[in-house]
A and B are shown apart, each in its own frame.
Chain A
Amino acid sequence: MDLLERYSDVAGREVVDHLRQLSAELRGMKVVHVNSTREGGGVAELLAKMVPMMNALGIHATWEVIEGTSAFFECTKGFHNAIQGNTVVLPEESYQEYLRINSMNAEKLEDKLRDADFVFIHDPQPAALLKNIVDRKGKWIWRCHIDCSRPYRPVWKFLRRIVSDYDASIFSTAEFVQPLPHPQYIIAPSIDPLSEKNMELSWGEVEGVRKRFDLHPDMPIILQVSRYDRFKDPVGVIAAYRIAREIVPMQLVLAGGGASDDPEGEVVLQEVKKAAAGDPNIRVLVLPPDAHRTINALQRAADIVLQKSIKEGFGLTVTEAMWKSKPVIGGDTGGIRLQVIDHYTGFRVQSPEGAALRIRYLLFNHGKRVEMGRQAKRFVRENFLLTRHLREYLALMIAVFHGFEDRIDLTRN
Chain B
Amino acid sequence: MHSFYSYDTGFHIRDCALVRLSTGVRVQTLREFRDALERVPDGSIYHHFWGRFLQPQFDEPEYNNDFAAWAYRCLHEKALAERLSVIDPTWFEDIEGLRRELLERIEDYLFEKESVIWARTDEQFYFVQSQLVVLDTGKCMVHPRELVTNLPEISIGSVFYHFIDARRRTEGKTDDFSMWLEAFGPEYRALSEAFKSTDPYFSSLKAIRAKLAQECDNFFMDR
Contacts and interface: CB of A to CB of B under 8 A. Distances in A.
Partners in one complex: yes
Interface of A: 14-15, 17-18, 21-22, 171, 174-175, 177, 179, 183-188, 332-333, 338, 341, 344-345, 379, 382-384, 391-392, 394-396, 398-399, 404-411
Interface in B160-181: none
9 contacts: A22-B17, A22-B135, A174-B126, A175-B126, A184-B24, A185-B22, A341-B58, A407-B131, A411-B134
A66 B132 CA distance: 34
Nearest to A380: B56
Contact of B22 (A18, A22, A171, A398): A171
Contact of B133 (A15, A332, A410): A410
B155 A404 contact: no
Contact of B131 (A345, A382, A405, A411): A405
Contacts of B133: 22, 395, 398-399, 408, 410
A183 B137 contact: no
| Contact-residue size bin, chain B (C-beta under 8 Å from the other chain) | 35 or more
A55 B153 CA distance: 26
Nearest to A171: B22
Given A177-B22, A391-B17, A392-B17, A404 B131 contact: yes
A18 B133 CA distance: 12
Contacts of A338: 56
Contacts of A411: 4, 12, 14, 134-136
Given A187-B19, A332-B122, A384-B56, 16 more contacts: A14-B155, A17-B137, A18-B155, A21-B15, A21-B136, A171-B22, A174-B20, A174-B22, A185-B22, A395-B18, A406-B131, A406-B132, A408-B134, A409-B134, A411-B14, A411-B135
A407 B206 contact: no
Contacts of B136: 21, 410-411
Contacts of A341: 58
B156 interface: yes
Give the one of B126, B131, B138, B157 with max A CB within 10 A. B131
A399 B157 contact: no
A184 B22 contact: yes
